Amino acid sequence: MTKTRDARGKSCMGHAPLLITAHELHVYDEPGKHVELVRGRLLVHEPPGFVHGDVVQRIGFAIGLFLHPNSPRVGRVVVGDTGFWVQRDPDTVRAPDIAYVREEQIPAAPVYGFAEFPPDLAVEVRSPNDRTGALLGKVADWISAGAALVWVVDPARRTAQVYRPDGSITLLGVPQALDGEGVLPGFTLPLASLFD
């Protein structure tokens, strides 16, 4: 027997974890926690630390500055664990630390719920308690959902890994830089600027 929580957060006893949907996740309340849905199962994480937040802000700010002078608008950067619905039945809703979406992917009407399209770029900033297997699972979900580029930035090691749909992986360290490649052409971000 396993103890699980239902979509309203109530404890229940059962033989298998209860699967919930993205719609149920949208109204789920776990105060002070970061929640994702992976193949119908809740993943609850502790809030990340200060360094994590600082690195997320630096990356998001740099992408925002790069996009600002581009007119007409070429895309949007979102932060704050924005939810993307990347798989259905059972549902998976992932929330990257930062995401960039090209303007042509964004519907004309405002998206108040989870985005039903993948980001073109998903950025994950590793926290000290992040397990490698769990991070690689997120990378796989982003790529299979249609992301063209995934960056995993590790502040503790001062490195970044770049993942692409063709299976290629690039490991970067200081003094190298992240590159927007075909997703954000012309964008570069030196890793040293994130860690100093």
pLDDT digits (tens, 9 = 90+) for 53-84: 999 999 999 999 999 876 557 899 999 879 99
The pTM score is 0.83
**In Å, what is the CA distance from 14 to each residue of 1, 9, 17, 28, 77?**
6, 15, 7, 20, 41
Same domain assignment for residues 174 and 133: yes
Instruction: Check residue 54 and give its pLDDT.
Output: 96
Same domain assignment for residues 27 and 55: no
Same domain assignment for residues 106 and 191: yes
Same domain assignment for residues 122 and 155: yes
Same domain assignment for residues 85 and 103: yes
| Residue where a domain terminates, one of 11, 26, 45 | 45
Q: What is the CATH number of the domain that holds 118?
A: 3.90.1570.10
Contact 153, 125 (CB under 8 A): yes
Same domain assignment for residues 125 and 30: no
Same domain assignment for residues 12 and 98: no
Q: Which residue has the higher pLDDT, 149 or 15?
A: 149
Same domain assignment for residues 38 and 54: no
Instruction: Check residue 31 and give its pLDDT.
Output: 64
Q: Band the pLDDT of 185: cuts 50, 70, 90.
A: very high
Alpha-carbon span 124 to 138, nearest angstrom: 9
Same domain assignment for residues 17 and 81: no
b/e sequence 152-184, b meaning 16+ C-beta within 10 Å: bbbbeeebbbbbbeeeeeeebeeeeebbbeebb
Token pair for 159: 């490195």
User: How high does pLDDT run on average in the chain?
Assistant: 86
Q: How many separate domains does the chain show?
A: 2
Alpha-carbon span 93 to 84, nearest angstrom: 5
What pairs with residue 102 in β-bridges?
Answer: 75
Same domain assignment for residues 60 and 138: yes
Same domain assignment for residues 118 and 89: yes
Range of the domain at 32: 2-45
